[in-house]
């Protein structure tokens, strides 16, 4: 693609991003959210809905139209209002979160609406966002909700491991997580184990959690869950053998044809 064409596409994209959101579109989106819990897929419009709920004002689309006096008054009034960290976390996840996290937060809003409540007026007194993980998944009781017999004890052991792992993860280290996601693919497709023990433990925990989900969906994953449990319980050379067996199963499952 030519430099001129790239420049033109960037100009068009910038123009589209700068198109003001009409008050009618915002009203429709806000009404839909209050009735159904559905936030728009269009992120600027979704942000506008949340801004309207949190501040009571339409979002600013033109800096020349800012009423600075009113803006400062709103800030002072908002500072005096009690905050709701859980609701704020849900809004943030529903707009900025990765796909799974975004889905969970939005599903909380949809669940409230299905119960006949207005999601924009929800309060979560006594709740605080989890130190690790997402507010949406916490409120949906995931992953506890996916546990089915006969794996309740195994799941309890796994959840304790996950809690310990979360405290060890370098949460602000993007390079580590980028390497971690590559390591997941390498493990699943090629059976390559990462040298980083924390990465390996995390991959095994995520894999076991995934199998619990597949079991809850009705799939027969007995052999897999037994292999994951054996790898989690073993130590020393026995653990290496258990992980090797689990690796074989995982690679075969991942590369299995349709």
pLDDT at 133: 76
Mean pLDDT of 128-136: 84
pLDDT at 21: 80
Q: Are residues 11 and 133 in the same domain?
A: yes
Q: What percent of the chain has pLDDT over 70?
A: 82
Mean pLDDT of 227-236: 95
Q: Are residues 129 and 155 in the same domain?
A: no
pLDDT at position 44 over 70 = yes
Choose one of 139, 158, 173: the last residue of a domain. 139
Residue 114 lies in a domain: yes
pLDDT at 2: 45
pLDDT at position 116 over 50 = yes
80-89, 110-119, 139-148, 247-256: lowest mean pLDDT where? 80-89
Q: Are residues 36 and 117 in the same domain?
A: yes
Q: Are residues 86 and 31 in the same domain?
A: yes
Which residues neighbour 166 within 8 Å (Cβ) at sequence distance 6 or greater? 131, 132, 133
pLDDT at position 240 over 70 = yes
Residue 198's H or E segment, with its range, is: helix 197-216
Q: Residue 165 has which token pair? A: 């792992």
Residue 256: strand, helix, or coil? coil
Based on the structure, what is the number of domains in the chain?
A: 2
Q: Are residues 71 and 125 in the same domain?
A: yes
Q: What is the mean pLDDT of the chain?
A: 84
Residue 144 lies in a domain: no
Q: How far apart are CA 126 and CA 123, in angstroms?
A: 9
Q: Are 23 and 58 in contact (CB under 8 A)?
A: yes
Q: Are 112 and 75 in contact (CB under 8 A)?
A: no
Q: How far apart are CA 149 and CA 246, in angstroms?
A: 22
Choose one of 120, 139, 158: the last residue of a domain. 139
Asked, as a colleague might, if the bond just before 100 is cis with ω within 30 of 0, I would say no
Give the model confidence (pLDDT) of 49-101 as tens digits. Answer: 998 898 876 654 444 555 556 555 655 555 445 578 999 999 999 998 878 88
Q: Are residues 184 and 109 in the same domain?
A: no
pLDDT at 11: 44
Q: How far apart are CA 60 and CA 41, in angstroms?
A: 20
The pTM of this model reads 0.67
What domain range is 122 assigned to?
Answer: 3-139
Q: How far apart are CA 55 and CA 85, in angstroms?
A: 15
Residue 145 lies in a domain: no
Give the model confidence (pLDDT) of 190-207 as tens digits. Answer: 999 999 999 999 999 999
pLDDT at position 30 over 70 = yes
Q: How far apart are CA 21 and CA 47, in angstroms?
A: 11
How many C-beta neighbours within 10 Å does residue 206 have?
A: 14
pLDDT at 97: 84
Q: Are residues 39 and 94 in the same domain?
A: yes
What is the dihedral sign for C-alpha 131, 157, 212, 146? Answer: negative
Mean pLDDT of 149-167: 94
Q: Are residues 115 and 31 in the same domain?
A: yes
Residue 245 lies in a domain: yes
Choose one of 88, 120, 139: the last residue of a domain. 139
Q: Are residues 39 and 7 in the same domain?
A: yes
DSSP 66: -
Q: Are residues 188 and 96 in the same domain?
A: no
- For residue 50, give the nearest of 119, 104, 113, 125 by alpha carbon: 119
Q: Are residues 228 and 135 in the same domain?
A: no
pLDDT at 62: 46
pLDDT at 64: 53
Q: Are residues 15 and 83 in the same domain?
A: yes
Q: Residue 242 has which token pair? A: 């258990």
């Amino acid at each position: 693609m030519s430099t001129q064409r790239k420049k033109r596409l960037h100009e068009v994209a910038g123009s589209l991003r700068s198109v003001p959101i009409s008050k009618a579109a915002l009203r429709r989106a806000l009404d839909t959210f209050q009735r159904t819990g559905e936030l728009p897929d269009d992120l600027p419009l979704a942000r506008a809905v949340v801004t309207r709920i949190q501040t009571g004002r339409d979002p600013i689309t033109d800096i020349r139209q800012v009423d600075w006096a009113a803006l400062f008054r709103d800030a002072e009034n908002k500072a005096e209002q009690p905050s709701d960290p859980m609701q704020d976390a849900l809004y943030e996840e529903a707009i900025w979160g990765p796909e799974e996290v975004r889905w969970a937060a939005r599903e909380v809003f949809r669940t409230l609406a299905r119960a006949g409540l207005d999601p924009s007026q929800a309060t979560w007194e006594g709740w605080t966002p989890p130190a690790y993980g997402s507010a949406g998944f916490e409120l949906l009781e995931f992953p506890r909700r996916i546990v089915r017999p006969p794996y309740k004890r195994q799941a309890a052991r796994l959840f304790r491991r996950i809690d310990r792992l979360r405290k060890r993860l370098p949460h602000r280290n993007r390079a580590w997580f980028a390497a971690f996601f590559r390591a997941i693919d390498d493990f699943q497709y090629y059976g390559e184990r990462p040298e980083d023990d924390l990465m390996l433990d995390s991959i095994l925990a995520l894999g076991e959690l995934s199998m619990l989900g597949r079991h809850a969906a009705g799939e027969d994953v007995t052999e897999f869950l037994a292999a994951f449990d054996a790898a989690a319980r073993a130590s020393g050379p026995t653990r290496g053998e258990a992980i090797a067996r689990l690796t074989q199963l995982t690679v075969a499952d991942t590369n299995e044809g349709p």
